Structure 1
Amino acid sequence: MKISTLAAVVLAAGTLTAAAVVVPGLNPVPTPSYAVPAASAVVDHGAYDKLLKKYVSAQGLVDYKGFKADEVAFNRYLALLSKNPPAANWSKADQMVYWINAYNAYTIRLILDHYPVQSIKDIGSKIKIPFVTTPWAAKFFSIGGEKMSLDNIEHGILRKKFDDPRIHFALVCASISCPRLRNEAYTAAQLEKQLDDQGRDFLNNPAKNKIGKSAAQLSKYFDWYKGDWEKNGQSVVKWVNRYSTTKMDDNTKISYLDYNWNLNKQ
């Protein structure tokens, strides 16, 4: 989710990583090709919900040491995800919930694999895989028997298949400038409410967005993913005004805040 100054970097990497500019149509991350089951029971995220309530604060800060001490339960949940990919009979909401929870849970797993670290970006220098230079591009887990990366989930599945920019309020890259990690799991029954709540929380947090009528300093998310916010007749201004208590107009001068990549730890 960090901007790159050279499109050539993106081309060389052969993927749109979370560390690159999102350029529509430029080497998009492929959708994983695991065999989608025709039917299966929807995954229960209750075990993950208990861990989040226990180790994530109301402000979204994570007790990584606590997760580390409770790895048996956490790994059991990740194994459940790994063995039970979304099936064709699942609702759209159940599929989105699965992938959002999976992204956030595997991000926590990635941090634990390298803990202690000051930033998720520090992990990139530790990766010894040819052509893989960011933690988001590393295929360190499996879903349905296929090796996958966080990029595969975000760009190859959620952004490509579900076309809902609110996912950017829900996916958390373990950094201070990210949206708040909820201390509850996403569920199909509450998904719409949870996504809208994330939008309100993110847009009205002055540490992440500073919004005024004449000028606004927005999160880099609104720059990096501008194409997503402008789909279907929408715009950055419309999305901001949907959730911000202070409203912008088309003449509001927009700039973007520096991104704080420090770890979202307690």
Structure 2
Amino acid sequence: MVKTLALLSALLLVSGCTGSLPFTQAEINNSPTANAEMGSDSFNYDDFAGVLKTHVNEQGWVDYEGLQSNRQQLDKFVVAMSQVPSGTYEGWNEREKIAFLINAYNAFTLQSIIDQDPLKKSIREIPGVWKIRKFSLAGQEKTLDNIEHQILREKFNEPRIHAALVCAAVSCPPLRTEPYTAAQLDFQLDEQVRIWLARPQGLQIEREREKVSISAIFDWFGEDWVPSYGVKEKFSGNERQRATLNFISRYISPVEAQYLEEGNYELNYLDYDWSLNRQN
């Protein structure tokens, strides 16, 4: 990220999430940065913004029934992403590409869920949803796994994407009520990490039991944090685990960050709840 955005993000950071009041989507959407114009982006996200605002609540749960019966705006957005020429996409800067790909992944996931009639109880019940079903994106055919593993994880050193890619499960990070944009990307990704770690599906620190539990996502993709957050001393566990804990420590209270650094606890990965992230 360019230095100016990094500086802006640092100025906007607020106190850690665990042990303090977590952010709500309403607070995020009412912030000056969140309401900044999206005009600097090379792609229009208005249709996806309408989908998220209408069908995602402040806790990040999705009204899939409502979206299924009123899907025109989502389908229109998916078509628009398919019509971006590959040369146009290649000419975008890194922030524009990352925002576009995150939004594509989340939109394609929503579409995959509502294409099932009746709705499945879990995305895992949809055959081939990650590896076989293809979507048209910027002039190419891509699967969800292509977008996540062969593009976002492989071409960009940005582990915060794991707080933004939502695979429609309860244990996933919450879905935002707004799309990602290049203009706001650094701020949005930092906020997403804080929101994710404030939830019991992201991080649990039990000092009285000398136990720390973190999302299984940190286990599945732990190597993604090593290049930027790898550390030989401090924290607990192997190289991948220390890197993820070092990353997590940047987004929690100073007291709890110090506790993680001391490493006097048992580290565990939380069970992953694949139930659909639907509104009750």
Normalised by the length of structure 2, the TM-score is: 0.74
Q: Note if contact 1:215-1:252 (Cα within 8 Å) is conserved in structure 2.
A: yes
**2:250 counterpart of 1:242:** yes
- What letter matches 1:82 in structure 2? S
Which residue is 1:69 aligned to? 69
Match of 1:155 in 2: 149
- Which of 189, 202, 218 pairs up with 1:195? 189
How far 1:253 sits from its partner (Å)?
1.8
Distance 1:49 1:221 in 2: 26
Rounded to whole Å, the distance in 2 between the matches of 1:144 and 1:58 is 31
**Residue 227 in structure 1 maps to residue 223 in structure 2:** yes
The question of 1:257 aligning with 2:257 is answered no
**Which digits, 9 at most, give the CA deviation of each residue in 1:200-234, with x for residues without a partner?**
11112124321245320111011111111222343
Counterpart contact for 1:217–1:254, Cα < 8 Å: yes
Q: Which stretch of the first structure deviates more once superposed, 85-94 or 216-225?
A: 85-94
After TM superposition, the structure 1 = structure 2 runs for residues 1-266 of structure 1, keeping only pairs within 5 Å, are 42-84=42-84, 85=86, 87-115=89-117, 116-124=119-127, 134-213=128-207, 214-234=210-230, 235-245=243-253, 246-247=256-257, 248-249=260-261, 250-266=263-279
In the alignment, what sits opposite 2:7? none
SS state of the match for residue 57, structure 1? Answer: coil
| Residues 52 and 177 in structure 2, CA contact (< 8 A), matched pair in contact too | yes
CA contact (8 A) 2:89 2:138 kept: no
Q: Point out where structure 2 has 5 or more consecutive residues left out of the alignment.
A: 1-40, 231-242
SS of equivalent residue, structure 2 residue 90: coil
SS in 2 for 1:210: strand
Matched letter for residue 87 of structure 1: Y
- Distance in 2 (CA, whole Å) between partners of 1:233 and 1:73 is 39
For residue 243 of structure 1, give the secondary structure of its aligned residue in structure 2. coil
Identity %, equivalent residues: 39
Counterpart CA distance in 2 for 1:259 and 1:225 is 14
**240 and 71 in structure 1: CA distance in 2 versus 1, 3 angstrom threshold:** same
- The whole-number CA distance in structure 2 between the counterparts of 1:207 and 1:149 is 26
Give the distance between the partners of 1:112 and 1:135, measured in 2 at CA. Answer: 12
Quick check: 2:229–2:246 contact (8 Å CA) kept in 1? no
In 2: Cα distance, 1:257 partner to 1:78 partner: 33
Aligned-residue CA RMSD (Å): 1.6
Letter paired with 2:90 = A
CA contact (8 A) 1:81 1:143 kept: yes
Q: More helix per residue: 1 or 2?
A: 2
Q: Is the 8 A contact 1:43 1:80 kept in 2?
A: no
Aligned residues of 2:204 and 2:212 also touching (Cα < 8 A): yes
Count of aligned positions: 217
1:80-130: per-residue Cα shift (whole Å, max 9, x none)? 001115523212111100000000000000001114110000112xxxxxx
Unpaired runs of 5+ in structure 1?
A: 1-40, 125-133
CA–CA distance in structure 2, aligned partners of residues 198 and 233 of structure 1: 18
Aligned-partner Cα distance in 1 for 2:141–2:56: 28
Partner of 1:130: none
